[in-house]
Amino acid sequence: MREPAGRRLGLEMEMAVVRRDSGASHAAERYPETLAGIKRSRGEDIRLSYLHDRAVCASGPLGDSGFDNGYNLLETAFAPVMGGPGGLDRLDAAMQTELRDVRDALAAEDATVLNAAEHPAATLDNDRYLRIRIPRPIYTELVGHRGWLHRAGIDAKAQNSPCTAVPVEDAVRALNVMLALAPAFIALFANSPLQDGRATGLKENRLMLWDRVFRHARFAADHRLQQLPALPFRDLGDYFRWMFAGDTVSRALPLAVDDDYKGAVSVYLDGHPSLDRFLHAREWRGRRADNGQSVLLRPHSGYFEYSQFAHFLDARFRYRLRTRPPLEDLLHAWKRPGGIEALFVRAGLEGYIEGRAPGAVFPDRQLRAEAGASVAGRAPMAASAMQLGLLRDLATAEALVREWGWPSLRGMRQAAIRAALDDRRVRALAADVLAAASAGLDASERPWLAYADYVLASGQTAADRLLALWTATPGGVDDKLREVCAWRSLRLGDE
């Protein structure tokens, strides 16, 4: 019997860090160590990870808590919880514990989390970027080799990424639904109308990031891989061909195939082949990113699994294989319709949809005053509930995609970024998507949609509230930031 969507639930939660007194962007100093101490005081087994002798992550029963691209942006990747009845409650319990721990750890250096999907007034200049960027080896490739403008995201651009397990047979159906309906998520969770101390004219400026990062990339296909294709994916083979074949250029591959993709010793393949070309070769020469030494890499199915992060759409299919199939079997399956799905079933795949469209939203003083403590407290879970409801009833969600039309939905993404619910058609889509998501949830789960329901009914997104506060506050940028911090810093139920 096929397992239902949402058998397991996870979340990748990003958080912008600011000074409590001024609201200025803050590069955290000892956050992982302080957080580890808080968690260890409860008896949790916590392991610290280091880069260049500095702690960057604390890992334990709740998941991995550390930094994203810079010391001013935190990320917690929660360990999956069991789905089904009570699944959203279990995920929320983990999240609430984590937010309390994050709040207390940051308080030790007079900092806090800001309810924004991008810091309102942090500079993007290169000197600051180099000071606060996490020294991960992968950034050498992205900036120095591929020419990405990685610093365009150094002002704490934060997303709230629900992770919903799906059976492999439904993976592409689920992915297509989340990609097509992304404008509704963008609009309902818009929370970044400001950049560098100025109004951008956009409700979700955060999502302009990928166009800016890749616009002048060395390899043209890198820019294309953050744009929704003209047609839905037919199956996983089609999805992986879009990502790995044609004019695409393989990302640097690890010297050891089982290395973590952010910390691996990377190898740049000579001649810049696609991953598809590399996998069909007997061997391929390349050079190590760390010392320039020439090496030979032999194709392996593990490189296929390793490269699954090679695009930046509004949703990804992420997976892990219990057993890696022989490369010959993988390449043969890739040629057949549905072949990858059948192969992955035999390989014992665990896969999920990672939603990347929702901006980070947290409870704060402003939202609690306007919508009430219950709505505010449920805000961080609303995107997870929406995604679960849609994926639990794929037939209804797919009917909604057909009704609106893939080309029309593809064109609405920019309208959602620009105007959110102020765009009449985007608001109508958001209403349809929210209704479909609600229908896919049990009665006991629907209260988790409270924040999305409130935003739709009021027409006021987090971006609208932030922009109104910024505009109404007299004085310069520093004055506005202090007021924003007073009203928009994290406020939990125990405060």
Q: For residue 257, what pLDDT is reported?
A: 78
Written as six digits, the tokens of 91 are 């995920």
Query: What's the rounded mean pLDDT across residues 400-413?
Result: 98
In a domain, 369, yes or no: yes
Grade residue 262 by pLDDT with cuts at 50, 70 and 90.
Answer: low
User: What's the rounded Cα separation, in Å, for the pair 382 and 384?
Assistant: 5
In a domain, 294, yes or no: no
Name the residue with higher pLDDT: 95 or 263.
95
User: What's the rounded Cα separation, in Å, for the pair 207 and 72?
Assistant: 18
pLDDT tens-digit profile of 470-488? 999 999 999 999 999 999 9
In a domain, 258, yes or no: no
pTM of structure? 0.96
Q: For residue 79, what pLDDT is reported?
A: 97
Identify the burial level of 235 via C-beta atoms within 10 angstroms of its C-beta, where 0-12 means exposed, 13-18 middle and 19 or more buried: middle
Model confidence at 265: pLDDT above 90? no
Model confidence at 59: pLDDT above 80? yes
Query: What's the rounded mean pLDDT across residues 46-53?
Result: 95
Grade residue 49 by pLDDT with cuts at 50, 70 and 90.
Answer: very high
Asked which of 261-265, 274-278, 416-420 is least confident by mean pLDDT, the reply is 261-265
Residue 443: other Cβ atoms inside 10 A:
7
Model confidence at 1: pLDDT above 70? no
Tell me the one-letter amino acid at 493.
Answer: G
Q: For residue 362, what pLDDT is reported?
A: 98
User: What's the rounded Cα separation, in Å, for the pair 92 and 11?
Assistant: 10
In a domain, 279, yes or no: no
Q: For residue 441, what pLDDT is reported?
A: 97
Model confidence at 490: pLDDT above 90? yes
Q: For residue 353, what pLDDT is reported?
A: 98
What is the tally of structural domains in the chain?
Answer: 1
Written as six digits, the tokens of 425 are 């058609």
Per cent of the chain over pLDDT 70 is 99
Query: What's the rounded mean pLDDT across residues 299-304?
Result: 96
Q: For residue 258, what pLDDT is reported?
A: 74
Asked which of 167-176, 231-240, 254-263 is least confident by mean pLDDT, the reply is 254-263
In a domain, 253, yes or no: no
User: What's the rounded Cα separation, in Å, for the pair 296 and 282?
Assistant: 10
What is the extent of the structural domain holding 36?
A: 8-248+310-488
Query: What's the rounded mean pLDDT across residues 256-267?
Result: 73
In a domain, 180, yes or no: yes
Grade residue 124 by pLDDT with cuts at 50, 70 and 90.
Answer: very high
In a domain, 478, yes or no: yes
Grade residue 3 by pLDDT with cuts at 50, 70 and 90.
Answer: confident
In a domain, 291, yes or no: no
Question: Minimal CA–CA distance to 316: which of 157, 429, 210?
Answer: 210
Tell me the one-letter amino acid at 207.
Answer: L
Query: What's the rounded mean pLDDT across residues 316-340?
Result: 97
pLDDT tens-digit profile of 184-201? 999 999 999 999 999 999
Tracing tokens 């911090």 back to the chain, one arrives at 485
Per cent of the chain over pLDDT 90 is 95
Q: For residue 95, what pLDDT is reported?
A: 98
Grade residue 261 by pLDDT with cuts at 50, 70 and 90.
Answer: low
CATH number for 453: 3.30.590.20
Q: For residue 7, what pLDDT is reported?
A: 96
Residue 290: other Cβ atoms inside 10 A:
12
> In sequence order, what are the beta bridge partners of 315?
355
Give, in order, the Cα–Cα distances in Å from 379 to each of 192, 346, 390, 432, 451.
16, 39, 18, 19, 5
Mean pLDDT score across all residues of the chain: 96
Grade residue 449 by pLDDT with cuts at 50, 70 and 90.
Answer: very high
Asked which of 52-66, 257-271, 339-353 is least confident by mean pLDDT, the reply is 257-271
Q: For residue 189, what pLDDT is reported?
A: 98
Query: What's the rounded mean pLDDT across residues 293-303?
Result: 95
Q: For residue 4, what pLDDT is reported?
A: 83
